[in-house]
């Protein structure tokens, strides 16, 4: 009985760790309300980082900051996460910054709707399982 409980706890912990991940998502295309320079995505290196390691899911919106000479990220706590089994995607809503991130689980492609007329999409990789 004692060992059965220990095994059940171990399995539960393994399942919760398996669901946790950190994704790095690099934008390769953009569709915005304004015309962007041809090399915009290469120059500003727009990307997202998603951390699902803890109870608080966080998204970092990253880009090259010329004033700092490097890529910097603004971090936001995710307000709501939805999983659509039919479409095979997870959608992360950040209400304070008015944007959402969708990750298609079959191939880890993503789409970010910045809530102000801009959509970015590209590919994610698992940075930390």
In a domain, 6, yes or no: no
Answer yes or no: is pLDDT of 91 > 90: yes
In a domain, 96, yes or no: yes
- Residue 118, classified by CB atoms within 10 Å of its CB into exposed (0-12), middle (13-18) or buried (19+), is middle
pLDDT of residue 35: 66
**3 state DSSP class of 109:** strand
Give the number of other CB atoms < 10 A from CB of residue 75: 11
In a domain, 81, yes or no: yes
In a domain, 53, yes or no: yes
What range does the domain containing 63 cover?
21-128
In this prediction, residues 74-92 reach a mean pLDDT of 95
Distance CA 74, CA 50 (A): 12
Ramachandran region, residue 98 (left: φ > 0; alpha: ψ -120 to 50; beta: rest): left
In a domain, 93, yes or no: yes
Answer yes or no: is pLDDT of 18 > 90: no
In a domain, 67, yes or no: yes
Structure confidence by residue, pLDDT tens digits, 23-65: 999 988 777 766 666 777 777 788 899 999 778 899 999 988 8
Distance CA 96, CA 25 (A): 21
Structure confidence by residue, pLDDT tens digits, 102-120: 999 999 999 999 877 788 8
In a domain, 12, yes or no: no
- The domain total for the chain is 1
Stated pTM of the model = 0.75
């Amino acid at each position: 009985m004692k060992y059965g409980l220990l095994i059940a706890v171990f399995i539960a912990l393994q399942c919760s760790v398996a669901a946790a991940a950190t994704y790095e998502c690099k934008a390769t295309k953009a569709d915005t309300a304004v015309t962007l320079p041809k090399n915009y995505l290469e120059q500003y290196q727009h990307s997202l980082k998603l951390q699902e390691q803890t109870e608080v899911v966080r998204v970092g919106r990253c880009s090259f900051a010329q004033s700092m000479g490097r890529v910097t990220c603004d971090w936001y706590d995710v307000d709501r996460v939805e999983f659509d089994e039919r479409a095979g995607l997870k959608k992360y809503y950040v209400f304070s910054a008015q944007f959402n991130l969708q990750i298609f689980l079959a191939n880890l492609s993503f789409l970010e709707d910045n809530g102000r007329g801009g959509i970015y999409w590209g590919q994610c990789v698992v940075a930390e399982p």
